[in-house]
Amino acid sequence: MSAWLLLLAWVWPLLLVWPASGVRFRQDWGASTLSPQRSAVPWVALGPLPALAAALLVPVGTELPLPWLFLGTHLALDATGQIYLGFTALVWLAAGVYAALGERGGPPEAPAARSGRFDALFLLAMAGNFWLIVGADLFSFYVGFAMMGIASYGLVVHDGSPSALWAGKVYLVMALLGEVALFAGLVMLASETGTTRPALDDVSALGNATIALLLLGLGVKAGLVPLHLWLPLAHPAAPVPASAVLSGTMIKVALLGWFRFLPVGDLALPGWGHWLALAGLATMTLALPVGLVQRDAKVILAYSSIAKMGFLMTALGLVLVEPALAPVGVAGIAFYAAQHGLAKGGLFLGVGLRKHAGAPGTTAQAAILGVMVLLALALAGAPFTSGAVAKYDLKPVLEATQWTWIGAVVAVTTVGTALLMARFVWVAASIKGHAEPHWAWPLAAWGLLAALVALFPFAFGKPAAWLSNALPVGIGAGVAATVALIAALQPRLFAPFIGLVPAGDLLALLTPLLRAVKEMGEVFLEDLGRAWSRVERAAFAAFERVFGTPAGDVERGLRQWPVAGALWVGISAVLLLLLLAAQAPGGS
């Protein structure tokens, strides 16, 4: 009976969309009016409950075939899916409580309509996220992925500000690019394997084009450089609860898709594996320094997410090179994704709580900042934190590679992550909040999330892992303390570096080039239009010379050789072709 929780996990949020939207229809003599209202029931907080129950109660290996649903839906829960469903439901739950009982986001002129719209889109994205996790067929994964991605566009632009609309435009373009590539890759996968439920043996013979499309389509969602352009724009533009799930859960589904659709553990793909590992290293090395010069706390967290996804892509690439590492690598990547999702979701929600859940200088504000420091340490991988345990579990993957230098690179990026988290704490400490009522439940949900992160290393980690990363994190903390002391004594010393690279980095650098291309295109079109006008005028003049003369002149002109001769030659050629066609074999 518990197998039906897999269906309820994603159907339940869909069923809540209608009441959560606050839309009511009133019939007045056949005319319907639309009157959005804010619902008093916290629907978005109730949405993740069946998914959380499924993660806790449904045994691993459970399958639920539904041949009557769509093209033949098949739901299942494996070990990786259980981890994903568990941490994803927890982050959605904390964000849902925040959204339902705390700040809604958006300007105050139409709070009811905006709240209902946000709740409906929030639940749609939630349903898509859960569906692709429990779906064991290609249709379920893609439709859930597309539902999640398109609904998230509405979350990004919810604020309605020019920056949010620009971020939404970039997000939508990149999301559609990824979805088209993913759709093409899944169609080719189904064509090559002959099934919509590919097993590990089925995907072992995939062609290079299919693998490339799958890497591209899911790489957009993962923030793979240079496909990451949307992420540092969309995360700060979206309301706080939307940012928490965008970074905490949604970008992780790319890894789940690669686990399912690539021959991880069954076949060595050294070419693609090395490419993905190098791309992951490039993603880390770009995101960390760019994040250090940002002003906005949410932008810093966005670049931190890009860097962490780069690290996980590096680990996955190494597993593709050496299939024997798959049992350790897949489990390690899944646990790292869970740890990062919980900690990052908690940090995004903490930014909002700093603004709304207490006045400056109060005990509540100090406590919130203290918990955010603990979460930041966990994200940096400090000893006795979940980050240290998660990275320790991936050490066998890093040590087994032939790239002897990769350990040094990862150590340097760990120092960079510690500096990035120190920068985040510095910016978060400067947030000036104010006390608002009705924030007890969001604070409680956030506290539960933080408690899970704090207990993570002791529940899932070995004692040998607790002191992992002590040296690089200690170096990062020392450098950060030195920089902070210098900045306190000489505030203007580092000022030129802050904001040096705007959010969106490559997109901002490409904007002048794109503007120049646009201006050149406009000039070319103007020249093309003038040339076309000259051709039109010449053709019209020629038409007038031939057909615009009196009837007598036309007859006289036909008798002249240039016209009559051309007609005679043309008619003769047509007759000759018809004669040859009639005499050709098969002709009548």
pLDDT digits (tens, 9 = 90+) for 271-288: 999 999 999 999 999 999
Separation of alpha carbons 125 and 148, rounded Å? 4
Distant-in-sequence, close-in-space partners of 541: CB < 8 Å, separation ≥ 6: none
For residue 322, pLDDT beyond 80: yes
Range from 177-186, 318-327, 430-439 carrying the lowest mean pLDDT: 430-439
What does the pLDDT read at residue 71? Answer: 80
Separation of alpha carbons 94 and 103, rounded Å? 13
Distance of CA 557 to the CA centre of its chain: 71
Task: Let me know whether 327 and 188 are in one domain.
Answer: yes
Residue 468 DSSP symbol: T
Structurally, how many domains does the chain consist of?
A: 3
**CA nearest neighbour of 223 among 201, 251, 195, 258:** 251
Range from 127-136, 220-229, 312-321 carrying the lowest mean pLDDT: 220-229
Helix (H) or strand (E) holding 74, with range, is strand 73-77
What does the pLDDT read at residue 460? Answer: 84
Task: Let me know whether 473 and 572 are in one domain.
Answer: no
Q: Which domain does 109 fall in, by range?
A: 4-504
Task: Let me know whether 579 and 532 are in one domain.
Answer: no
For residue 552, pLDDT beyond 70: no
Task: Let me know whether 477 and 572 are in one domain.
Answer: no
- What counts of helices (H) and strands (E) characterise the chain? 23, 4
What does the pLDDT read at residue 400? Answer: 87
Range from 202-206, 298-302, 348-352, 488-492 carrying the lowest mean pLDDT: 488-492
The tens digit of pLDDT for each residue in 85-132 reads: 999 999 999 999 999 887 554 444 344 445 788 999 999 999 999 999
Task: Let me know whether 568 and 517 are in one domain.
Answer: no
Helix (H) or strand (E) holding 134, with range, is helix 111-134
36: left (phi over 0), alpha (psi -120 to 50) or beta: beta
Top-confidence residue, 585 or 146 = 146
Task: Let me know whether 495 and 474 are in one domain.
Answer: yes
Task: Let me know whether 13 and 75 are in one domain.
Answer: yes
Confidence at 30, pLDDT banded by 50, 70, 90: very low
Separation of alpha carbons 492 and 269, rounded Å? 50
Distant-in-sequence, close-in-space partners of 275: CB < 8 Å, separation ≥ 6: 317
Task: Let me know whether 423 and 537 are in one domain.
Answer: no
Task: Let me know whether 416 and 524 are in one domain.
Answer: no
Task: Let me know whether 439 and 580 are in one domain.
Answer: no
What does the pLDDT read at residue 239? Answer: 92
Top-confidence residue, 562 or 336 = 336
Domain boundary among the residues 504, 537, 572 is at 504
Distant-in-sequence, close-in-space partners of 559: CB < 8 Å, separation ≥ 6: none
Task: Let me know whether 500 and 510 are in one domain.
Answer: no
Task: Let me know whether 542 and 405 are in one domain.
Answer: no
The SS3 of residue 27 is: strand
Distant-in-sequence, close-in-space partners of 32: CB < 8 Å, separation ≥ 6: 25, 26
Residue 69: phi and psi, rounded to 5, are: -100, 120
**Dihedral over alpha carbons 28, 29, 30, 34 (to 10 degrees):** -10
